Structure 1
């Protein structure tokens, strides 16, 4: 099976989080049309494949406020060769359209942004997903000002919903700080510090690739080297096991594929949507073994 992380040119978002590392842009109508055309082309390629695929959309902006991303998730979820199709989203969109998707294949990776949306509104959206039978995880960025909001969200979400915490970019956590976040997300240790990855095995470039709107294939979002193009098939000959060329990896969508970490076991069946397998939590000694590895 090939896993694809797709990121088209879409960069506009209906939120304006000050801590967001992604691009800030108001897409022009021409740019939106180009993004839509790129996504339609990608979906047509997927429909023509006879191999099993898993797909995660990781847009710079918010995709689900755009009709073409909603349509793509529904369409792709119903293709027999697509085992999973998921997207990172702030969950500001309506949810009823998911009733048309195959709930065994579709999933959402949802981020709660305190200050951008009311708590009750976000919580109501998650309840709608539960009622629809849609798989999803929920998370927050681990900034000090988000701690109480995250605790409240954890208390009010069903126990079955995993609430992850991403370490804030450039933020240092004392052991006391980290303990607060571990109390919400026992897997926070994986995010707390970057993982040393240079020369170590990674699934990216072999069974996992990154694809942009033009079809350019790279091993992941964080390594600029091109492996070829999706649409002319030139990337196929470049797929092989290879060590990571970067000193560290500090983003979940990257290090989740690192073979030095047990993430494919921790998230078995839910790697793309960041939903842990049962039992959800690793024993504390095992978590410590892999922290900052």
Structure 2
């Protein structure tokens, strides 16, 4: 079985205080951190045993995972498993990058977000250059607020041409055509993010070849549909995997709508769906 897993454990702490994020500067207690570590280690052990499956894993923590040693170790270990095709994580790139020397660069990838005002621009750019020098696959992105536009343009100019710079539409924001044109000049794929996608009743790969897993092992079709399909660790989810239509009215998050069969994004991001890297890069 080819299976893509979106893993999100209980970690909810972050070292940034972005005003648009509910997890800004949130601190997990030592007990919460121990629980998160145990959950991720359990998941990694499960993945190591699934040698009859071909797995792709995207870790999508609420907080920042790579400042925690167990996330760095999990990505490293998963990258060396023969039956894991890709392992990626969403990150603000505030961590050091030398740990990636122990990972398989053919398997590991980073989905990096630049948050203006949270880290010096030159520090972030230097880390991007370190990733490039190490041969690590990565994309870079930014949230499309008006006061981020100049920084996005600067970043696009300073990053190598082959590094994809994506732009996420700010939640709840409506973009005029001129505003959308500005962002599209930075990210040609911004039109996919500009508006929520109608999804009700439309076929989606989630729940069939893509699943969401939480720290308890509860399996759902995606992060945005609460209905449970079973549990990862007792195998009960497998009988529930089947083609199914989306029950929601719209889907407005890339990690959700990228899996809609009515959109061409599996072709657009062929070979880089998890790390959000278009096929041409």
Q: What 5-or-longer segments of structure 2 have no aligned partner?
A: none
Alignment of 1:22-37 (within 5 A): 22=23, 25-37=26-38
* Alignment correspondent of 1:276: 278
- Measured after TM superposition, the shift of residue 23 of structure 1 is 7.2
- The answer to whether the Cα contact below 8 Å between 1:52 and 1:81 also exists between their aligned partners in 2 is yes
Deviation per CA, 1:139-183, whole angstroms, max 9, x where unpaired?
A: 000000100000000000000100000000011100000000000
Alignment-derived partner of residue 248 in structure 1: 250
TM-score, normalised relative to structure 1: 0.94
C-alpha distance in structure 2 between counterparts of 1:124 and 1:3, whole Å: 31
Q: What is the CA–CA distance in structure 2 between the aligned matches of 1:6 and 1:23, rounded to whole Å?
A: 20
Stretches of 4+ moved more than 4 A in 1?
Answer: 21-24
Alpha-carbon offset, residue 207 of structure 1: 0.1
The aligned residue for residue 132 of structure 1 is 134
Structure 1 residue matching 2:76: 3-state secondary structure: helix
Unaligned runs of 5+ in 1: 281-293
Please give the residue correspondences for 1:98-109 in structure 2 after superposition, counting only pairs within 5 Å: 98-109=100-111
Taking the aligned partners of 1:231 and 1:136, their CA distance within structure 2 comes to 30
- Tell me what 1:112 maps to: 114
Give the TM-score taking structure 2 as reference length: 0.98
Aligned to 2:97: 95
| CA displacement at 1:26 relative to structure 2 | 1.1
Structure 1 CA distance for aligned equivalents of residues 242 and 221 of structure 2: 10
Q: Once the 2 structures are TM-superposed, how far is the Cα of residue 25 of structure 1 from its aligned partner? A: 2.9
* Count of residue pairs the alignment pairs up: 279
- Decide which of 213, 229, 234 is 2:231's aligned counterpart: 229
Shift of 1:20: 1.8
How far does the alpha carbon of each residue in 1:213-257 deviate from its partner, in whole angstroms, 9 at most, with x for none? 000000000000000000000000000000000000000000000
